[in-house]
Each structure stands twice: as C-alpha cells, then as structure tokens.
Amino acid sequence: MKYQSQKVAKLYFIAAIGLFVGQILFGLIIGAQYVWGDFLFPEIPFNVARMVHTNLLIVWLLFGFMGAAYYLVPEEAETDLVAPWLATLMFWIFLAAGAATILGYLLVPYSTLAELTKNDLLPTMGREFLEQPTITKLGIVVVALAFLANIGLTILKGRKTVINLVLLMGLTGLAVFFLFAFFNPVNIVWDKYYWWWVVHLWVEGVWELILGSILAFILIKTTGVDREVIEKWLYVIIAMTLITGIVGTGHHYYWIGTPEFWQWWGSIFSAMEPIPFFMMTVFAFNMVNKRRRNHPNKAAVLWALGTAVMAFLGAGVWGFLHTLAPVNYYTHGTQITAAHGHMAFYGAYVMIVLAIISYAMPLLRGREAANSNKSQVLEMWGFWLMTISIVFITLFLTAAGILQVYLQRFSDNPMPFMVVQEKVELFYVLRELTGFVFLAGLIVYIASFFVGSKEPEATVEGEVVATT
C-alpha cells in the first residue's frame, strides 16, 4: 500500500464479505424451500428470501467494486484520493441504507414497505433485482455520484492509466444505466425492454469493463509483465465485450412482445459473447506464464486465474447453451437460466472481488506483500470448496432444467409446472447439499483472515528468469 487514502478500501471489503455471508445463508433458505415447500412459511416466504439473496449479492458486489476502486485508483494515479472522508461517509450511508432495506424486506410485508416508502409517488418497486424502495434507489444514485466524483477527480489529478480509465468508464456506465431503474411504464413490454438496459447492460456490458480492469491491475502487480502488453489485451477484451454484448441484449427480446428480428440479432451477437471471456482466460494464463517474478501471494494469483476460467464457463459456455433463439424457446425461464446465473455471477463477479480482496487485504493489514503460508493455504481451500460447489450446483440445476424443459414443454403430453417440480426434486436436494459445502468453503475462507496472522509472510522459493 503506497497511499494512506487507500486504507478506506478495507471497510468496503469487510462489509462485502459480511454481506456475502448473508447472501449465502438466504440462498440456503430458498434452496431448502425448493425441497420442503413450507420451510419457514409464512414467516419468510420464498419471494422475500430470494429478494434478500439477490439484493445482498448486488450490494456486496457493489461494495467490492467500490473497495477495489478506492484501492487501485490512487495507486494507479500515483496520488491520494481527493476526499477520503467522503468515501468513509458514503460507506456508512450505503451500509445503513442497505441494511434498512433488507430489514424492510424481512420485517414487514412487501406491500406495506411499498406504502411506507411512498412507492405511489414514483413506482419502481416489485421488478426483479430492482425491488428496492424508490428512496433506496435514490440513495444509490447519491452514493454513486459521490463515489464517481471522488475517483474521477483523483484520476484527473494524477497519472492517467488505461486501467483507471477503463475502470472509470465501467463505473460511470454502471451509474448511467441504473437510471433506467426509474423508468417503469404500465405497458409491460416497455417495462421489460428498458429493465434490461439496467440488468443486461450491467452484467454483460459495463461490469465486464470493471472486471477487466481489476483483473489487469492484479496481473500487472503479481506477474510484473509489462504494462503496455497488459493494457493492449485489456482494450481488445473490452472491445469484444461491447461489440458483442450491446446488440447481444437482443437475446432477452425474443419472447416479451418485441419484434421477431431480435431473434436474429440477439442470437448472432450473443453467440459471440463468449469470445471476450475466452480471451480473458487466454490473457490471464499467458500473463502468468510470462511472469517476470513469482509473487508471494499465491492465493491472489489463484483467484485471478480462477475468475478467468469460471467467467468463461459460467457466462460464456453456460450462456451460449441457451442463447440461440430456437433453443431459448424451450429453455427460457427454467432452471437452465438459474444454472447459468449462478455460475456466471460467481465466476465473473464474485471471484474478481475476492481476487482483489485477496491481493489488497494483506497490504491493507500491514503485510509487505502477502499473508503467511498457513493463511494462504486455508484461503485456497476456501477457493476450491466454493468453486467446486458452484460447479456442482450449476450441474444439478442444469439437470433439473433439462428435465423440466422436457416434461413441461417438449414432450407430447406436457405436465403442469408443480407436477414437474416434484419429479425433479432429487436435483434440488443435491443442490441444497452442495450449498452447505459452499457455506463450509466460505467459513474456511473467512477463517483464513484470522489464522496464521502472527506467522511470518510467505516468501517465494526463488526468482524465475524472465521468459520473454
């Protein structure tokens, strides 16, 4: 850590991990409700627990992105943050707003929450992932503006690197496209059309710029490969991301009342969306192979390689599986979608946040470069337990989805939804059991922050000779 103001990132990272735990616990609750339909009913109905599960995910990833920005922007710009106090203030505002919103979901019926927060004045609630009361959404805008001003002015003041510019573009895009959350016409076709401008243009658009720039930063730091090489890769990857991903939005416009030309545009462009993810995998492995030095933080390198592989599998491969219109006709809105969602979010966004935390946290806690060997071994156990769990969760949901498609939509005598759900229950049981392994992995991961912290730092066994 070179600049005092980078320290504010620590708060954001701690909050991110705390909320991650909450997300997983609620994931286990809804997973259990798939097996025992009346579990916690009527106290915590499925829709409430799911809302908590998905909203916590989004909020903790946002904490992670902001923490990453507060950490890496000063280091790249070679200057302190212009307003560290603002970053701290916004942290507490965002945390309080987030906690109040989650408590609102859990403590009162959703319709009461809508009434209490005057949803009538500007109705934005009750749409998937955008369930937050309008007042919370306004709060998110305020926090985002303060955050962007802070890092934007820091970048302006200091050295302008490609990593900082790409990160800033990604974060600005995140804030701009969020504004479509306030557009909610009665006409459900337009509601859905522009809802995707938040959801798709986030996760298959601007968030990939954030992912790319954080990954590039970690690779520069841990491999010592020339910045010019890494920045060129970064440009090519994000170019492919937006060239394919923007029109690729069309793969959500097949069956919602939008014109049928989207079946062509959406299929062709989204079929190319795996390309930038594949390039990211090649990029990460290439840079590590060409490393000019061995970094003692092996865990951070593992997360960086892991996110490159898992993002390709989850977002790229599992996305491609059901993105072509004739396939999507059968798979749209089934457990196939859920399978893809789980591995894509984990691979692309959970892992990149855990990667930057893995790289930065030892430095924020006063280490020279890395945690002790003991701590890193534990962290890597956490990595493998969580990653293997998500692979199996995805496989079980995919199996459930294929059966669901066949029984409910494809066979000669389609069966009702609930009949089919009972027939695929085995896979929900397996998914839930795997969820507990994931939780175990998360506990091990968190333990790695406390174990071995008094032991000496890990060192490299010997410098490698540069291969280029």
Q: Tell which positions 302-341 bind another protein, by CB under 8 A.
A: 329-330, 332-335, 337-338
Which one, of 448, 304, 459, lies nearest residue 376 by Cα? 448
Contact yes or no for 108/43 (Cβ under 8 A) = no
- CA atoms of 231 and 237, how far apart (whole Å): 10
Q: Pick the closer one to another protein by CB: 34 or 147.
A: 34
- State in angstroms the smallest separation of the CB of 284 from another protein: 17
Residue 51 touches another protein, criterion: CB under 8 A: yes
Side chain identity, residue 186: V
CA dist 193 → 20, 28, 187, 255 (Å): 30, 31, 10, 11
Residues 84-143 interacting with another protein (rule: CB under 8 A)? 110-111, 114-115, 119, 123, 125-128, 131
Comparing CB distances to another protein, the nearer of 48 and 97 is 48
Site string for another protein, 16-35 (x = CB under 8 A): --------------x--xx-
Among 176, 247, 327, 399, binds another protein (CB under 8 A): 247
- What residues between 371 and 410 interact with another protein by CB under 8 A? 408-410
What count of other Cβ atoms lies within 10 Å of the Cβ of residue 167?
A: 27
Would you tell me how many other CB atoms lie within 10 Å of the CB of residue 255?
Answer: 14
Choose one: 174-182, 274-282, 414-422, 459-467; the region binding another protein (CB under 8 A).
Answer: 414-422
Choices 215-223, 311-319, 368-376, 415-423 (CB under 8 A): range interacting with another protein:
415-423
Q: Residue 193 interacts with another protein (CB under 8 A)?
A: yes
- The yes or no reply on residue 462 touching another protein (CB under 8 A) is no
Pick the closer one to another protein by CB: 250 or 314: 250
As beta bridge partners, residue 457 has 372
> Any contact of residue 41 with another protein (CB under 8 A)?
yes
- Is residue 417 within the footprint of another protein (CB under 8 A)? yes
CB of 321 to another protein, least distance (A): 16
CB neighbour list of residue 53: distance below 8 Å, 6 or more residues apart: 23, 26, 27, 29, 30
Residue 176 or residue 388: which is nearer to another protein going by CB? 176
Which are the contacts of 49, defined by CB distance < 8 A and separation ≥ 6? 26, 29, 30, 33, 40
Residues within window 253-272 making contact with another protein, judged by CB under 8 A:
253-263, 265
> Which of 206, 283, 269, 200 is closest to 237 using CA atoms?
283
CB of residue 263 vs another protein: minimum separation in angstroms? 8
Question: Shortest distance, CB of residue 128 to another protein, whole angstroms?
Answer: 5
Work out how close the CB of 68 gets to another protein at its nearest, in angstroms, rounded to a whole number. 21
Tokens of 124: 């934005």
CA angle 206, 337, 268 (to 5 degrees): 60
Task: Assess contact for 405 and 331: CB atoms under 8 A.
Answer: yes
Provide, rounded to whole angstroms, the least separation between the CB of residue 330 and another protein.
Answer: 6
User: Among residues 50, 291, 298, 342, which is the contact residue for another protein, using CB under 8 A?
Assistant: 50
Residue 169 buriedness (CB in 10 A; 0-12 / 13-18 / 19+) = middle
Q: Rule CB under 8 A: is residue 47 a binding residue for another protein?
A: yes
DSSP-derived letter for residue 295 is -
Distance from first CA to last CA of the chain, Å, rounded? Answer: 28
- Residue 245 vs 362, nearer CB to another protein: 245
Q: Interaction with another protein in 274-303: which residues (CB under 8 A)?
A: none
Task: Compute the least distance from the CB of residue 181 to another protein, in Å.
Answer: 13
Q: How far is the CB of 334 from another protein (least distance, A)?
A: 6
**Residue 327 or 447 having the CB closest to another protein:** 327
- Per the structure block, which two tokens stand in for 151? 């890092």
- Minimum Å gap between C-beta 41 and another protein is 4
Minimum distance from residue 126 beta carbon to another protein (Å): 3
Closest alpha carbon to 375 in 309, 438, 439, 296: 296
Question: Rounded CA gap, 468 and 225, in Å?
Answer: 9
Give whole-number Cα distances, 72 to 213, 216, 288, 386, in Å.
10, 11, 20, 26
221 binds another protein (CB under 8 A): no
